[in-house]
Structure 1
Amino acid sequence: MKFELLNGVKTYAPDSRKQLIDYAVTHHKIMVAVNAEKILHATEQSRAIINRNLGYPDGVGAVWAIQKKGHKSTVKIPGCELWLEVIKSYYTSKSFYLVGGKQAIIEATVTKLKKEFKGINICNYRNGYIKTEAEEQDLIDAIKTYKPDVVFVAMGSPKQELLMERIQKQHNAVYQGLGGSFDVYTGSVKRAPMWWVKNNLEWAYRLFKEPSRIKRQIHLVRFFFNLHLNRY
């Protein structure tokens, strides 16, 4: 699968969700979402984290930047949908370990997954409040014991990516960072209606619902200006 460097951020150009998932599973990758904000505000640390792993176009800004490089068939793959696609593709044949969110959220997530994907093998799970090295080591030891094929970690960047890298050194599997995806999945956080999502206006809906995001959204104007000038 081909990739491009966008402000130094190595971002792959999948033609479909299946292509990305198959590549991640075959190569036991850590999947990291890339969007306009991560490209625009890339630091030495954030670039290194993404470039060591499998950065995929989570937002339309990343997709447009890749398409301007000549990969016209590249598709947007929202992370909050991708992890469910992974489960849909492999829930009858692979095992899963879930980490992240408040205790009530992770329990609601597991309950809903078992209801929607009959027979899914969720070998274990825990909340995302890992406060000490001992608690992290307990998690790593548990994952080494259960040996899941896929591990989802929903804790926010870069914390989740750094944790996944430490775990992967002890247990080789497929990993994906999910941010707040468990909250969205369980309905505790509402995602934009599908019309806004399909028309690449999810950012506008979130701004409408949360006007305080305006300071973050203003930076996106600079991203698209730079994109227009072929600076990525």
Structure 2
Amino acid sequence: MEAKSLNGVTTFAPTSREELMQYAFDHQKILVAVNAEKILHATDESRSLINRNLGYPDGIGAVWALKKKGIKNVVKIPGCELWLDIVERYHKTKSFYLVGGKQEIIEATIQKLKKEFQDIQICNYRNGYIKSEVEELELIEDIKAKKPDVVFIAMGSPKQELLMEKLQKSHQAVYQGLGGSFDVYTGNVKRAPKWWVKNNLEWAYRLINQPSRIKRQIHLVGFFVNLHLNRY
């Protein structure tokens, strides 16, 4: 699978979700979402973190940047959909461990997964509020003992990626950082309707419904200017 450097952020360019999933399992990788913000605001630390792992185009900005680099068939793969693609494809053959969200959210997530995927093997789960080094070590030891094939961590970046790297050193598996995906899956947070997602306008829907995001999204103008000027 081809990859390109976008402002120093190595981003893989899958031609399908199946290709990305297969690559992740073949190489026991940590999946890290890459979007316009992560490219625009990349630091030495964030670049290193993504480049050690498997960065994939989670947002349309990353897709456009990859196409600008000459990759024609790359597809956008939202992380909030990818983890469910992994569950759907592998729930009969792989085992899962989930970490993240408030206690009621993770419990609702597990309940819904078991209802939708009756054959799913969930080794264990816990909320995302790891408050001490002792709790973190307990999680590491539990994952080592349970030996899941897939670990989902929903805690936000870069916290979730740093934790996944610690876990990967103790237990080799496919890891994916999910941010707020459990909230979306359980309906606690509403995602943009399908039309907005299909037309790559999810960011606009979020802005309409949460005007305070303008301070964050105004920086994306700089991303598109740099993209147009071939600075990535």
Spell out the pairing of 1:168-187 with structure 2 (5 A cutoff): 168-187=168-187
Secondary structure class of the residue paired with 1:98: strand
Matched residue type, 1:37: E
Q: Distance in 1 between matches of 2:49 and 2:176?
A: 13
Spell out the pairing of 1:32-51 with structure 2 (5 A cutoff): 32-51=32-51
Q: Which runs of 5+ in 2 are unaligned?
A: none
Cα distance, 1:118 vs. partner?
A: 1.2
Give the aligned length. Answer: 232
Q: Distance in 2 between matches of 1:120 and 1:79?
A: 20
> Which residue is equivalent to 2:190?
190
Q: Distance in 1 between matches of 2:183 and 2:52?
A: 27
Cα distance, 1:119 vs. partner?
A: 1.0
Q: Distance in 2 between matches of 1:14 and 1:119?
A: 28
Matched residue type, 2:74: T
Q: Distance in 1 between matches of 2:108 and 2:129?
A: 16
Q: Could you list the per-position Cα deviations for residues 119-172 of structure 1 after superposition, in whole angstroms to 9, with x for gaps in the alignment?
A: 100110000000110000000000011000000000000000000000000000
Q: Could you list the per-position Cα deviations for residues 48-80 of structure 1 after superposition, in whole angstroms to 9, with x for gaps in the alignment?
A: 000000000000000000011111100000000
Give the TM-score normalised by the residue count of structure 1: 1.00
Q: Distance in 1 between matches of 2:41 and 2:14?
A: 23
Secondary structure class of the residue paired with 1:187: coil
Matched residue type, 2:59: G
Matched, 1:107 2:107: yes
Spell out the pairing of 1:59-78 with structure 2 (5 A cutoff): 59-78=59-78
Matched residue type, 1:115: K
After superposing on structure 2, the runs of 4+ consecutive aligned residues of structure 1 that deviate more than 3 Å are: none
Q: Distance in 2 between matches of 1:21 and 1:71?
A: 19
Spell out the pairing of 1:125-204 with structure 2 (5 A cutoff): 125-204=125-204
Matched, 1:230 2:230: yes
Matched residue type, 1:135: E
Give the TM-score normalised by the residue count of structure 2: 1.00
Matched residue type, 2:33: A
> Which residue is equivalent to 1:91?
91
Matched residue type, 2:164: M
Q: Which runs of 5+ in 1 are unaligned?
A: none
Matched residue type, 1:183: D
Cα distance, 1:201 vs. partner?
A: 0.2
